[in-house]
């Protein structure tokens, strides 16, 4: 386990008598891209919230950057990990550059008050996400694919060693899904650690270093794509029959066969 990493061991969480997590475990270290898979309602977001210290588990342990994540201040948490939650519509006319600058919050920056290091980080993030030409556009005029890139740029601008993204490609077409995943992959290749919730098994197979399979509040398996992208785990987690084909290093999942 790395000091910069995130670790949850056998977390349990109940709310009003309903069990959301049951001995769920999760680890993320710098330099790896972990994809969390599971059907709607499996508890993925709940597990991310426990890992980030945004929800407190009833049992088990969690550490983030070597600390109890629930004890971190918002600034400490933001320096350790950048979080892209679900539902990230930006329906007000804020400029792209200013949204990306929000990633510098952990360094005391506000869009109207950026130190030189903030300005440089924002410029790098805009360039990495191919957003320089859109930097002064209002976010409510962007397409879904452009807006997804803005959120990734905000995460990159934070320069946190870890990124947690809950369905960052939801509602994007295949080209833009790949574009966003390539940006996350590039972040990992530069030494970052990324934990991503996806619902697309082919995309997961293409990009993950490790898969974590979750169902009914439990993490059932964790392993490489080669080890765990199997009909067994697809059926155990999603309750569907699947054929997994492997050719030329690519793994494809055919559902319903």
* Residues near ligand ATP (CB under 6 A): 15-16, 18, 20, 38, 40-46
**For residues 18 and 133, which CB has a smaller minimum distance to ligand ATP in the complex?**
18
**For residues 54 and 135, which CB has a smaller minimum distance to ligand ATP in the complex?**
54
**For residues 40 and 247, which CB has a smaller minimum distance to ligand ATP in the complex?**
40
In whole angstroms, how close is the CB of 125 to ligand ATP at the nearest point? 26
| Long-range CB contacts (within 8 A, 24+) of 12-20 | 12/57, 12/58, 12/59, 12/60, 13/43, 13/46, 13/50, 13/55, 13/57, 13/58, 13/217, 14/58, 19/217, 20/46, 20/217
**For residues 21 and 244, which CB has a smaller minimum distance to ligand ATP in the complex?**
21
**For residues 41 and 66, which CB has a smaller minimum distance to ligand ATP in the complex?**
41
In whole angstroms, how close is the CB of 110 to ligand ATP at the nearest point? 31
Structural contact between residues 117 and 172, judged by C-beta atoms closer than 8 angstroms: no
In whole angstroms, how close is the CB of 31 to ligand ATP at the nearest point? 25
In whole angstroms, how close is the CB of 93 to ligand ATP at the nearest point? 28
In whole angstroms, how close is the CB of 24 to ligand ATP at the nearest point? 10
């Amino acid at each position: 386990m790395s000091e910069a990493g995130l670790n949850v061991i056998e977390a349990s969480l109940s709310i009003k008598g309903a069990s959301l997590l049951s001995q769920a475990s999760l680890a993320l270290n710098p330099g790896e891209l972990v994809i969390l898979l599971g059907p709607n309602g499996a508890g993925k977001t709940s597990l991310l919230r426990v890992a980030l210290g945004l929800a407190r588990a009833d049992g088990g342990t969690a550490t983030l950057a070597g600390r109890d994540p629930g004890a971190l201040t918002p600034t400490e948490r933001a320096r350790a990990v950048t979080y892209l939650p679900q539902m990230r519509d930006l329906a007000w006319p804020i400029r792209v550059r200013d949204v990306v600058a929000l990633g510098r919050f952990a360094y005391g920056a506000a869009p109207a008050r950026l130190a030189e290091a903030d300005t440089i980080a924002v410029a790098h993030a805009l360039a990495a996400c191919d957003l320089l030409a859109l930097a002064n556009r209002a976010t409510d005029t962007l397409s879904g694919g452009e807006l997804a890139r803005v959120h990734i740029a905000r995460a990159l601008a934070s320069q946190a060693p870890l990124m947690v993204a809950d369905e960052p490609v939801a509602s994007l077409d295949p080209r833009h899904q790949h574009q966003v995943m390539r940006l996350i992959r590039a972040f990992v290749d530069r030494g970052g650690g990324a934990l991503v919730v996806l619902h697309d098994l082919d995309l997961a197979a293409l990009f993950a270093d490790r898969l974590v399979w979750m169902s009914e509040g439990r993490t059932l398996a964790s392993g490489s794509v080669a080890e765990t992208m199997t009909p067994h785990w697809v059926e155990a987690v999603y309750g569907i029959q699947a054929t997994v084909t492997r050719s030329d290093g690519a793994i494809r999942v055919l559902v319903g066969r």
